[in-house]
């Protein structure tokens, strides 16, 4: 007996994707150049195609239909018909089941199969050939979802930018080895929402977690051949689907929402690292999985002289076509979905310069930014740019518009070079300590436009930064050719692991120097997960494919790791207690030299630095005085913000330098708050008078405080 065909109604072109309304499901898919589109339905296991429905309705190049009676849980995919003419940019192949770009859930994994390619693998004509094999068994299936969720009284922490402290983490890497997390939850969203994980974040004092990519992504085929996997996740295949490999249940959407709600209750914001610049389909020799087979010409940037090939500003083989309005719509729909339905608090945009490219140039007022600024939802969340890509003119640090913050690579490089001991760095360092006004004091931008970091997922960990001068990436299977060769690292005298006490002590001091600098600078500090307790990647500075102990955080801490953790907690607590380190505005007149009411610069003789001293190649020591009574700002309630006075002294030379202490209130003495030459906090009972000499040790940072009595101090408290 033949199974009765499902009833099909015209449906609507919006919203795109699959939408359950309680009575049935609407399906909508954009394709400008398709000649026919079929909706394919599958059984509950995703193994057998149960129906193939031609979508006869088309409105504004969106194909659509409605299935009355269909419910959440329905599995589906698309087959799209049209010309296969790679030289004209068209790569339609109806033998390939395609993923819905707006799908909210996927079930099953993408299998490594030659059938997933639109051409015959191994053919002399390469992608000019045509493959007739059906790939449905090798493809995951889209799933219709029920979006309902009890958010209870969820409210975003809404932490002010200048009060924000970001913790960059990998969902699996942070939780998979934690002994306090139930084994079934390790490596998952539920693991990150568990009490032990949240307790660590709260004790640390961070206000936001920045999650490395959690959009559904693909393991690169060449990595699978090497027995490796894509650990970082910068290989997105779906912009709406939370990656199911990080789910402890079969409902990743529900589990992700629960994680966000739980973190919000702990006062912690959730920022997503998102990859909208390219997809996992790769270059002209990549697989046909979604956008390529739906409408290659519309979705991707193609070379005009030969549309068989892709413009590649990302180093991954392709670049999304941000000049097409439907591509912009796809990205904007995705961003709004994660804010409105998943309640995330912001985004960090991978290779964000690519999103700004109009034709070949980076246009900082491109269409994408115009749309973001006008959007009533997205203009209110935290927006962070990785302000570069791999194309010509792609390095755009400091050039993003108002409303955006940026990963400040110039901060990273200046701080690394300074503590490495390179000469001629103090002028640049002065700008980085004060919020990089040379980069951001325009278009109404503030110090918090600078996301300050010393390390991030891409590169060395902090421990490796002070332990290795050469990358050690052989485990990646590329003969150590991958990864950056210019790391501005210093191994303190020995490459890699050592048992020499003096080397280990110096490395510990250097770590404290980097961390103290990070948390005492104006701008927004970002800490890489595990840096607070000595995580190492064994010298690997490109561990994107190491889903193993090389990347995972080891929670079995040695005494020196415990000491480092305590130091980081002390530094974060100090920053949160003193608003002078987290100003909302640049210092007066945005100058670094001469007498300024709220900041002064001193040489070791206790004298204000002259213009010529900023550019002395041998100078590696300086002092920065911050006056707490001249912050000139108000808190959210309109109350004036005041603080103690502080003197920050930095010495990147190898020698002890006697630093003569300045002072403007002769009756108040300086109290030590931080001295990185010491393994523990300095004894605060020791006070120093104006004009006395502080023995500033080689390769150390010291922070002194002059209390001002009863002052207003704004402190972030857990919600």
Summarize pLDDT for 613-638 with one digit per residue, the tens.
998 877 899 999 999 988 888 888 88
For 432-461, write each residue's pLDDT tens digit. 999 999 999 987 899 999 999 999 999 999
CA 459 to CA 485: how far, in whole Å?
10
Is residue 480 within 8 A of residue 504, CB to CB? The reply is no
- CATH class in words for 17-143: mainly beta
- Tell me the CA distances in angstroms from 457 to 103, 212, 237, 672, one per residue in order: 28, 8, 21, 33
- Residue 307 makes CB contacts below 8 A (sequence gap 6+) with 86, 87, 88, 89, 297
DSSP state for residue 553 in the 8-state scheme: P
Of the two residues 247 and 610, the one the predictor is more confident about is: 247
Can you say how many angstroms the Cα of residue 597 is from the centroid of all Cα atoms in its chain? 36
Lookup result for tokens 């950056």: 484
Query: pLDDT value at position 496?
Result: 98
Q: How confident is the model at residue 532 (pLDDT cuts 50, 70, 90)?
A: very high
Q: Which of 89, 80, 78, 81 lies closest to 128, judged by CA?
A: 89
> Strand 208-211 vs strand 166-169: parallel, antiparallel, or unpaired?
parallel
Tell me the per-residue pLDDT of 321-339, one tens digit each, with 9 for 90 and over: 999 999 999 999 999 999 9
The radius of gyration of the chain from alpha carbons, rounded to an integer in Å, stands at 27
The residues that are catalytic are 350, 386
Q: What would the mean pLDDT of 200-207 be, rounded to a whole number?
A: 98
Q: What is the pTM assigned to this prediction?
A: 0.95
Question: Does pLDDT of 709 surpass 80?
Answer: no
Do residues 95 and 136 touch, judged by C-beta distance below 8 A?
no
> What pLDDT sits at residue 365?
56
**Residue among 278, 264, 151, 275 at smallest CA distance from 198:** 264
Look over the chain and give the mean of its residue pLDDT values, rounded to a whole number: 93
Task: Reply yes or no on whether the pLDDT at 543 is more than 80.
Answer: yes
pLDDT digits (tens, 9 = 90+) for 245-297: 999 999 999 999 999 999 999 999 999 999 999 999 999 999 999 999 999 99
| pLDDT at residue 94, as a whole number | 98
Q: Choose between 126 and 715: higher pLDDT.
A: 126
Name 406's Cβ contacts closer than 8 Å, sequence gap at least 6. Answer: 384, 385, 386, 387, 397, 398, 400, 440, 449, 450, 451
Report the pLDDT averaged over residues 544-555: 98
Q: Mapping DSSP to helix (H, G, I), strand (E, B) and coil, where does residue 299 land?
A: helix
CB burial readout 354-387, b (16+ within 10 A) else e: bbbbeeeebebebbbbebbeeeeebeebbbbbbb
Q: Beta strand pairing status for 269-274 and 208-211?
A: parallel
Pairing of strands 49-54, 57-59: unpaired
Reported residue count of the chain is 719
Check the CA dihedral 432-437-443-446 and report its sign: positive
Residue 719's pLDDT is what?
25
| Tokens linked to 4 | 């009765």
Instruction: Flag whether pLDDT at 573 surpasses 90.
Output: yes
pLDDT, one tens digit per residue, over 296-328 is 999 999 999 999 999 999 999 999 999 999 999
- The boundaries of every CATH 2.60.40.10 domain in the chain are 17-143
Q: Where in the chain is the domain with CATH 2.60.40.1180?
A: 589-706
Give the pLDDT score at 621: 95
Task: Say what angle helices 325-340 and 291-299 make with each other, to 10 degrees.
Answer: 120
Residue 357: predicted pLDDT: 80
H/E stretch holding 271 reads strand 269-274
Q: Give the whole-angstrom CA distance, residue 434 versus residue 628.
A: 15
Q: Are 451 and 408 in contact (CB under 8 A)?
A: yes
Residue 485 has pLDDT above 90, yes or no: yes
Assigned token pair, 6? 């499902």
The CATH code that applies to domain 161-274+324-580 is 3.20.20.80
Q: Burial-class residue 611 by CB neighbours within 10 Å (0-12, 13-18, 19+).
A: exposed
Pairing mode, strands 382-385 and 346-349? parallel
Give the pair of three-digit tokens for residue 353. 């310069």
Q: Which fold has domain 589-706?
A: Immunoglobulin-like (2.60.40)
Question: At residue 237, does pLDDT exceed 70?
Answer: yes
């Amino acid at each position: 007996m033949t199974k009765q065909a499902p009833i099909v109604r015209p449906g609507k072109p919006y919203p795109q994707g699959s939408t359950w309304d309680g009575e049935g499901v609407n399906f909508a898919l954009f394709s400008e150049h398709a000649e026919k589109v079929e909706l394919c339905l599958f059984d509950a296991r995703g193994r057998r195609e149960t129906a193939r429905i031609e979508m006869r309705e088309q409105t504004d190049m969106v194909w659509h239909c409605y299935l009355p009676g269909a419910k959440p849980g329905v599995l589906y995919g698309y087959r799209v018909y049209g010309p296969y003419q790679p030289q004209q940019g068209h790569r339609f192949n109806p033998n390939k089941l395609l993923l819905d770009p707006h799908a909210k859930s996927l079930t099953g994994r993408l299998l490594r199969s030659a059938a997933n390619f639109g051409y015959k693998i191994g053919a002399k004509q390469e992608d000019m050939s045509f493959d007739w094999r059906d790939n449905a068994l090798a493809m995951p299936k889209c799933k219709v979802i029920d979006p309902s969720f009890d958010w209870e009284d969820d409210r975003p922490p809404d932490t002010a930018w200048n009060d924000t402290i970001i913790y960059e983490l990998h969902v699996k890497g942070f939780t998979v080895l934690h002994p306090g997390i139930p084994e079934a939850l390790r490596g998952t969203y539920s693991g990150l929402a568990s009490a032990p994980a949240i307790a660590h974040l709260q004790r640390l004092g961070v206000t936001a977690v920045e999650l490395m990519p959690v959009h559904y992504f693909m393991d690169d085929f060449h990595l699978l051949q090497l027995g490796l996997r894509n650990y970082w996740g910068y290989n997105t295949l779906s912009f709406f689907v939370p990656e199911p490999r990080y789910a402890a249940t079969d409902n990743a959407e529900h589990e992700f929402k629960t994680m966000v709600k739980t973190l919000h209750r702990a006062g912690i914001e959730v920022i997503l690292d998102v990859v909208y610049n390219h997809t996992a389909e790769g270059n002209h020799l990549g697989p046909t999985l979604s956008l390529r087979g739906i409408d290659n010409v519309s979705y991707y940037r193609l070379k005009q002289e030969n549309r068989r090939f892709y413009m590649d500003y990302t180093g991954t083989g392709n670049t999304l076509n941000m000049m097409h309005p439907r591509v912009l719509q796809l990205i904007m729909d995705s961003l709004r979905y994660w804010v409105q339905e998943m309640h995330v608090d912001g985004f960090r945009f991978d290779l964000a310069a690519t999103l700004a490219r109009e034709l070949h140039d980076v246009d900082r007022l491109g269409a994408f930014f115009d749309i973001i600024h006008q959007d009533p939802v997205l203009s209110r969340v935290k927006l962070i740019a990785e302000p570069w890509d791999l194309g010509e003119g792609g390095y755009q640090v400091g050039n993003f518009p108002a409303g955006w913050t940026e990963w400040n690579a110039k901060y990273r490089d200046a701080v690394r070079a300074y503590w490495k001991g390179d000469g001629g760095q103090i002028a640049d360092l002065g700008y980085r300590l004060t919020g990089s006004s040379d980069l951001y004091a325009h278009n109404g931008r503030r110090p918090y436009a600078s996301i300050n970091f010393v390390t991030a997922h891409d590169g060395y960990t902090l421990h490796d930064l002070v332990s290795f001068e050469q990358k050690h990436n052989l485990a990646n299977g590329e003969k150590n050719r991958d990864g950056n060769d210019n790391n501005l690292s210093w191994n303190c005298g020995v490459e890699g692991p050592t048992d020499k006490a003096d080397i280990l002590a110096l490395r510990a001091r250097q770590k404290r120097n980097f961390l103290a600098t990070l948390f005492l600078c104006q701008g927004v500090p970002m800490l890489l997960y595990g840096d607070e307790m000595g995580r190492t990647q064994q010298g690997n500075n490109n561990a994107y494919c190491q889903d193993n102990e090389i990347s995972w955080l080891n929670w079995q801490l040695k005494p020196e790791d415990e000491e480092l953790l305590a130091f980081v907690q002390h530094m974060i607590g100090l920053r949160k207690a003193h608003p002078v380190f987290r100003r909302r505005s640049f210092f007066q007149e945005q100058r670094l030299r001469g007498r300024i009411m709220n900041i002064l610069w001193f040489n070791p003789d206790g004298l204000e630095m002259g213009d010529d001293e900023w550019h002395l190649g041998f100078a590696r020591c300086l002092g920065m005085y911050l006056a707490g009574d001249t912050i000139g700002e108000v808190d959210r309630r309109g109350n004036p913000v005041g603080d103690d006075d502080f003197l920050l002294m930095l010495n990147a030379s190898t020698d002890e330098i006697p630093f003569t202490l300045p002072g403007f209130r002769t009756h108040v003495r300086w109290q030590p708050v931080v001295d990185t030459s010491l393994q523990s906090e300095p004894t605060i009972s020791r006070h120093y008078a104006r004009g006395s000499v502080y023995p500033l040790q080689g390769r150390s940072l010291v922070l002194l405080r002059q209390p001002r009595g009863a002052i207003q101090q704004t402190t972030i408290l857990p919600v």
